[in-house]
Structure formats: C-alpha cells, structure tokens
Structure 1
Amino acid sequence: MDTTKASSKAAETLANAYGVTGPLDESTILSRADSYFGRTRQIVQHFGDCDVTYAVFIRRPVIAACRLAVSWLQNVAQEQGFVLDCREVYAEGEWVGAGEPLLYLTGSFVKLAPLETLLLQKLGAACVAAHNAYQMCLALPEVPFLAMEARHCSGYEMQEQMGYAAGVGSRAAQREGARGFIGNANDATAGFFGLDKGLGTMPHALIGYAGSTLRAAEMYAEVFPNDPLTVLVDYFGQEITDTLTVCQRFPEHAAEGRLSVRLDTHGGRFLEGLDPQSSYAVLERNTPGTIRRYRSDRELRDLVGTGVSAAAIWRMREALNEAGYPNVKIVVSSGFNVDKCTAMHEAHAPIDVVGTGSFIPNHWSETYATADIVAYNGDLRVKIGREFLLGKVQAGKEKA
C-alpha cells in the first residue's frame, strides 16, 4: 500500500473531522471537565491569570498518536480566541518510552485548566491502540490487516480514535517493512487508511437469511458481480465442506484468486473435523517442532485449541490444496491481538488477511494519560516525584 497516500488521506480526514466529534465551546467543556478544574479556573481568574506549561505523558511505552487530541485543542483555541503553543515531542508514529512527555502545552491557565479532562480522554487510548496495531503488524509482517474495531467501540468518538490509532500504528510498521492495515470495515474512518470506503462482504446474518453458505455467496455475487468474493464459512460448523462447495460453484473466482474464505470459528468448538489430537497432528505435518516450543496455556490454545487456531488455518489450507484450489485465500478473524498474531507467526500459519479490532486496549488502566504543569510564567516547578518531566521542557526552552 502507498503509505504516502494513506498519510495524506489521514491528514485530510483529520482536517474534516475535528470539531465535529468534540465540543469547542467553553460551557460544554466545563460541564464535562472534572469540577476542580472549573474551580481552579475561577480562583485563577480572581487572583490573576498566568501562563503555564503542561507536560502530558503516559506511564507505559506507546506509539505517538497525538494529532487527534492536538487538532481538537487547536480548534478549541481558535473557537475561544486564545493563544496556544503546542510542542509535540515525538513525531506521529514514533515510539515513545514509558513516562516520556508526549506534549508540552503553553498558554493561559484560565483557558487551559478546563481542557485537561477532555484532552486526556482523546490521547491515552489512541497512543496505546497505535502501539498494539504496530506490534500486531510487525508480528505478521507479510500479512495484510483489516481493521474491524467499530463494533467494539462505545460510540463514534471512540470509533474515530481507534481507527485513527490503527492507521498510525500501521504506517509505523510499514516504515519497517510490514504490510500493515490495508483498510477498515466502515466508511467514516476509511480515510485513516488512505481509502474512501470501508471494506468487507458479508456478516453471519446474511448466511442465516440465505439459509446456506452457498446461497449467501450466490446472492452476494449476483448483487456485486465485479467484486472479489469473501465468504464466511463457519455458520453451520462445516467450514471445510461449505468452503469446497463454494469453490465448486465459483471455479473461475477460485482459479483467479478472487475467492476468499473467512474463518471466524466460535471459541467453543473446533474447526470441522478437528479435535485436540488431530490438531497436534496438523501442526506436526506442516510446521514440525512448533508445538514443542509453546510457552503458555494461551499460546497453546492459539496453536491447537478451539476457534481459529493455527491448526485450523493449516487444515483449511490443506483441504483447499488437496481439492485443487491453491489460489483461494484464507481470511481469519476472532481475537487476533498481539499475542495471537505472534503465535501465528511461530506456527507459520498460511494467513492471507487478518481481520481484527483487537488493537483496542485490553487493560484500560494502561491508557490513562496524565498532565502536570511544569512551569508557571516561565519558572520551572512541578510536584515532587515528577521532576523527570522537566528535562525536555528545559531543553526545548534552550533550543528556542
């Protein structure tokens, strides 16, 4: 994928989005901010405003994904008519160590105090999700990813944050040679991936409506005859049987590589024809030694357990090749987080595309960003224990 195009499209999406999903007016921001910031604002108004500098950081390693938050701040400053100096310490997509300041913000204490709550909401989760997406892409560098996070988000603002984050993490991994994310599953955030439209074919609901996997494929092909065809094959628990039936019905698609099957097998059962013993055997046939190197129960499940395991993917590849369909692609989904992607790499799983929203942080407490004032009217001052924040602000002042 052209990462320059993706970056340009992402910038355009950012330019069009901000101010739409976040409040800019003072009264709405005050109503959503922690109340002590509103009281602080009143006290400072009473005793006299001053310029302050905030340092913003996260306590764990992340990928810098600050433009969402910074763009919102700049729009607030423009709307409310105050001067904001924002220094991004790291370029977008750059790796950031735990506790390293991401931003230094300088401006009126009266104006900035109420913004802290909403700023931190927009920053931490995006940076952690970008780091997860980056790690996933590097774990499977030859495999393209599709972002499918929207259904797991609590609303559009989170959806926008997570789509943006996946785009940032993907481009960081692409700079290191990974394929990264080639798109996402909805139109609204497609611009973060350099696209105009979301990607995807059918949900399980269409198969239920059609009454069979084959009929759902036929319906899709009739309405979208010029599109590549990706068919979900786990609805009836007959992944291999239904896959081969679809291949027989669409031999040209299969021969030309325009047919893909998507494995989304429920975690409560094995792929058709597999059980624990046969799953071990599949891996031994295709990637000897992998099963002997597993390091945890979670990794063992990803390799030979229920759901979309490495053994399930290898078994599907075997079945396709044995039936004479080597060009049919395998798309996988269901819990493909960093750990699962790493396990798939260890097993050399023959994956053509990963669909996932599992870059959304698992442990929300890791996403908590923090802001501390480190200078008042130019005098450096910070609470005890946060002196580490002063180093780069001082370096920035000297450079300026």
Structure 2
Amino acid sequence: MNRINDRRNVSMMMDLYELTMANGYFLEERNDTKVAFDVFYRRNPDQGGFSVFAGLEQVLQYLEDMHFEAEDIAYLRSLNLFDGRFLDWLSDFHFHGNVYAFPEGSIIYPNEPIITVVADLVEAQLIETELLTQINHQSLIATKARRIVKAANGRAVSDFGARRAHNNDAAIYGARAAVIGGVNSTATVSAGQYFDIPVGGTMAHSWVMYFGDELTAFRKFAKIYPDNCILLVDTYDVLDSGIPNAITVFREMREQNIKSKSFGIRIDSGDLAYLSKEIRKMLNEAGFPDAKIVISNSLDENTMTSILAQGGQVDAFGVGERLITSRSEPVFGAVYKLCAVEEDGIMQPRIKVSESVDKITNPGLKEVYRIYNEEGRAFADMIAKKDEVVDLSKPYRFVDPLKPWKIRRFENCTAKKMQKLVMENGKRTEPEVPAKEIAAYVKHQLSNEIWEEEQRFENPHIHFLDMTPKYYEMKMEMLSKDDNN
C-alpha cells in the first residue's frame, strides 16, 4: 500500500517550543529521563454523545520514520537558538519510546487517555505537534462523518469535499477519516489509491455546458459510462429539461438492451426535498422506479435530516464542505499532557491544576476499562491505576468523580482494557489495519455496544467516566498537596 510520507519527511512538523524545551532538557542532562504523556480531549464536537478515534496509523508511521536530515539541522543551526551538542544529537535521532493506545476506530469519550506515550523526555516532547495534528484532524472528521451517516438512515454517502478542504493533506486524510466514520466512498482519487477505499464520481456541469445541449451531453456520457450513468440534471432546468432529457436517454438505453449496473440522476441545487419528490414521480411514471436519485450541495446531518423528514426521495448523498471541514465544529481539541515522571526507577504521577475544573488532568500511568452490562452494552468507562487489579466477578465499588459521596457498585458486569501496546522501543507491534476494517469496527460498536441514547443528536445520554477508589484517592491526595503549597 502506498504511503504519503514515503515521499517526504515530516519530522520538522513541530512547534518551536518543543525544540527550545528539548534543548534545555538536553543541557540539563535530563534528556533520558523517562516520562509519560497522555492524549485526551475534553468535549465531544457538536454537543454529541461520543467521538470516533482516528489518525493512529499516521502517528505510528510518523514515529517510525522520524529523523532529521542535514538540511533540517542546518536550518535549526541558523536560528542561533540551540547548542551545537544538541543539534549533533538530533542528527542521529530516532524515536525509541513505547506507545499505548485505544484501537483505531474506537468510540471514545472526554477526559480518558486515548494514547499514552512513555519515552525519554526529549523524545516525548518533540512528537507533540504532529501527534496532535493527526489525531485532532482525523478524529474530528470521522466523528462528523458518523453523524452524517446516521442522518442518511441507511442511504449511501460519498465524500465530495476535496476542493473545499484546507489543503491536500486535509482532503486525503479527511477522506480516510470519513470512511472510518462510515461514508461509502470518496471522490478523492489519491485517497482511494493510498488507503484502498472506494472512489466514485460522474460528471460536472461543465460536461453539459461544453456540448451545447443537455440531451447530447447525456447521450455521450451514457455511451461512455453505461454501467455508471448518473446524469447531472440541474444545469439548466431540472423539471422542464434535465429530467425529461434523462428519461429520454434511459429509454434509449433500454431499447438498446443496455442494462446498467447503476443509473439515475444527481441534483446539486434548488429545493432538494421538493425536487427529489417531483423527480421520483416523473421517473416512476416513465417506468424507471429503480433509477437512483443522488443529491448534493452544502449538506450536513441537519439538512439531510430535514430533507428526509419532508419526504425527500433520496437514494444517496454527496457531502462536501460541511464534512471535510467539519464546518459546524472545526476544532476537536485533543491535548498532550505530562502525567508521570520517572524518579528512582518509579513512574511518579504528575497533575496539572487549574482554576478551571475541567482543565485539571488525570495523573499517573493508568488503565481505562470499558464496562459492559449483561447484554453487552457499554454503559461506563473507568480509570484505574496502572498496576491495579480490577475484578468484576463480584460487586465492584467505584467512584463517580462528580458525586464521590455516593456508594456505587458494578454488578453482573464485565470489563475490557481499552489501551494496548501499539509501539515498543520505537517499532510498531502490529501491522497496518485497512481503513475499511476500521470502519467495520466503528459500525460494530455502534450497532452492538453503544447505547442508542448516546447516539442521538439532541441531548445525548452522557457516558460515565468513573474511577476506582484507589485512583480517585490518589488524585485527591495530589490535589490536596497542591492546595497546601
């Protein structure tokens, strides 16, 4: 499988402060101190009930390939900010850390560590920006795509967004994320090539305009592409010209005994709900009830829901700018925070304290367990200390950090560890998972594990993030010590 980064080195994709701090740690002889950083986010986009984790594969590729070339070192030297010994060290740099992560495609929730990096201090510091760039972007688009696919209610959805994406990478990786989120295909050819995902597309208005008259344009297209004959009918007049001409072409194909695998029309403007209903009547009356109606034009989950609620007759949606840019909520907000530092061979927890309660971090090395009821539905996640034994074979007491005074227990439940080792000593532990397999994993979770109440758009049920008593007590102790300083 082709990899985008085979053709370029993105190791310099970092904020300057990562290098200034790394240089300082190096001069303080702290560069080989072992530390741990967590990646987590604080709020679901669009006030949703969950998010979809995407971008892990690109993070692992980046970490395996990370190195600094001669021109990189020369540029850094020209800034007159860094010690020569540090730059010499960078010239032979490779990442040697361990990475623990949720499986890509996992349904995720705020404030739980979806990735934990355990590495030497300088190594862990230098990877922050690229790691967050990939996770923030792809998780955002995958989550938006999931909402759009849910709104489609079983109808096909294609990503049409490349020309509205913020740049090439946003289009290509956005298409990958969209497929992970559940869309059926993309119009972005390079994404199809790189990630082995289905591509689709037919014609633009320029095809019709070039040939002078609509019927001629449709006939020529049908002759070249009889098995994928989707005709764009809104160049001039949908109901008085586009549909009658399309019906003429479909009749001619039938008379010539041309059996198309896929045929129909697309509309890209106007009142899509009204037009689709009128078009369906016209196609049915002409004897083409199996002709598909595809709609596009600034669609998202809200407009799609509205069109279908009005009785819109739609077989497939082409969704562009509002998917590929996640226009309604363009920031995912994942962060990378220090959670532990090695002291005398022991990883000691660290905590960030803030006047904003939602910015207080969860300290230390930890495990995240997903808790399932007897029906296999996931109704909570729980944070535990890394070395804790969690035994749910009997009633298990846990702490709700929002209501710690209440005595709560899990009963008749099972638990699954969410993080697994995905990179050891800088080498990945498992092969790449195709985007289509990740998409199937997303679909499985939402169909079989995640409550429907968490998936609704309005006021979704909140998925609980609980803590073991030992973990909660450790966090409270650290906060108490900080308060006394």
TM-score normalised by the chain length of structure 1: 0.74
Query: 2:56, 2:134 within 8 Å by CA — same for their partners in 1?
Result: no
Aligned to 2:17: 36
State how many pairs are aligned.
327
Residues 1:70 and 2:59 are matched in the alignment: yes
Following the alignment from structure 1 to structure 2, what is the Cα–Cα distance between the partners of residues 46 and 119?
25
Are the aligned partners of 1:374 and 1:382 in contact in 2 as well (CA < 8 Å)? Answer: yes
8 Å contact kept, 2:175–2:188: no
- Between the aligned partners of 1:69 and 1:229, the Cα distance in structure 2 is 36
The 5 A counterparts of 1:344-363 are: 344-357=307-320, 358-360=322-324, 361-363=326-328
1:288-307 superposed matches below 5 A: 307=270
Larger radius of gyration: 2
Corresponding residue of 1:383: 352
Question: In structure 1, how many angstroms separate the alpha carbons of the residues matched to 2:337 and 2:200?
Answer: 41
Partners of 1:191 and 1:346 lie apart in 2 by 36
1:342 corresponding residue in structure 2: 305
Aligned-residue offset at 1:190? 1.6
Q: Match for residue 230 of structure 1?
A: 230
Would the alpha carbon gap of residues 237 and 132 (structure 1) be closer, same or farther in structure 2, given more than 3 Å must change?
same
- Which residue number in structure 2 is paired with residue 371 of structure 1? 336
* 2:86 is aligned with 1:113: no
C-alpha separation in 2, matches of 1:356 and 1:73: 30
Deviation per residue, 1:226-260 (Å, 9 max, x gap):
43201111111334532122211331647956421
Structure 1 residues 323 and 221: CA distance shift in structure 2, 3 A: closer
C-alpha distance in structure 1 between counterparts of 2:365 and 2:103, whole Å = 15
Distance 1:348 1:396 in 2: 52
Q: Return the match for 2:95 from 82, 86, 91.
A: 82
* One-letter amino acid of the structure 2 residue matched with residue 132 of structure 1: K
Q: Does the C-alpha gap of structure 1 residues 211 and 68 become closer, same or farther in structure 2, counting only changes over 3 Å?
A: farther
* Aligned CA distance change for structure 1 residues 396 and 310 (closer, same or farther; 3 Å): farther
Q: Distance in 2 between matches of 1:136 and 1:331?
A: 15
- Per the TM alignment, residue 222 of structure 1 is displaced from its structure 2 partner at its CA by 3.2
- 2:221 is aligned to 220
CA-CA distance at 1:149 after TM superposition? 1.5
Partner AA of 2:107 in structure 1: W
Aligned positions of 1:146-225 closer than 5 A: 146-170=158-182, 181-190=183-192, 194-195=196-197, 198-224=199-225
2:275 is aligned with 1:312: yes
- Residue segments in structure 2 that go unaligned for 5+ positions in a row: 45-50, 69-92, 368-383, 389-419, 421-485
> 1:252/1:138 Cα in 2 relative to 1: closer, same or farther (>3 Å)?
farther
CA 35–78 in structure 1, closer or farther in 2 if over 3 Å, else same: closer
Matched residue type, 1:165:
A
The aligned counterpart of 2:144 is 132
* Alignment-derived partner of residue 59 in structure 1: 42
DSSP 3-state at the match of 1:189: helix
AA aligned to 1:76 is D
Who is 1:288 aligned against? none
SS in 1 for 2:105: coil
Q: Which amino acid aligns with 1:85?
A: N
2:190 maps to amino acid: A
Whether 2:322 is the aligned partner of 1:333: answer no
* Separation (CA, whole Å) in 1 of partners of 2:245 and 2:158: 26
Q: Which has the higher strand share?
A: 2
Gaps of 5+ in 1: 1-11, 171-180, 266-306
Judged with a 3 Å threshold, the aligned counterparts in structure 2 of structure 1 residues 373 and 314 are, in CA distance, closer, same or farther, namely: same
In the alignment, the residues of structure 1 paired with residue 169 and residue 233 of structure 2 have an alpha-carbon distance, to the nearest angstrom, of 32
Question: How far apart are the structure 1 equivalents of 2:24 and 2:220?
Answer: 66
Do residues 23 (structure 1) and 9 (structure 2) align? yes
Higher relative helix content: 1
Q: Distance in 1 between matches of 2:330 and 2:149?
A: 23
Q: Distance in 2 between matches of 1:256 and 1:211?
A: 27
Q: TM-score, normalised by structure 2?
A: 0.62
Query: Are residue 260 (structure 1) and residue 258 (structure 2) matched?
Result: no
Deviations 1:373-394 (A, max 9, x none): 1111221102114444337726
Distance 2:145 2:365 in 1: 28
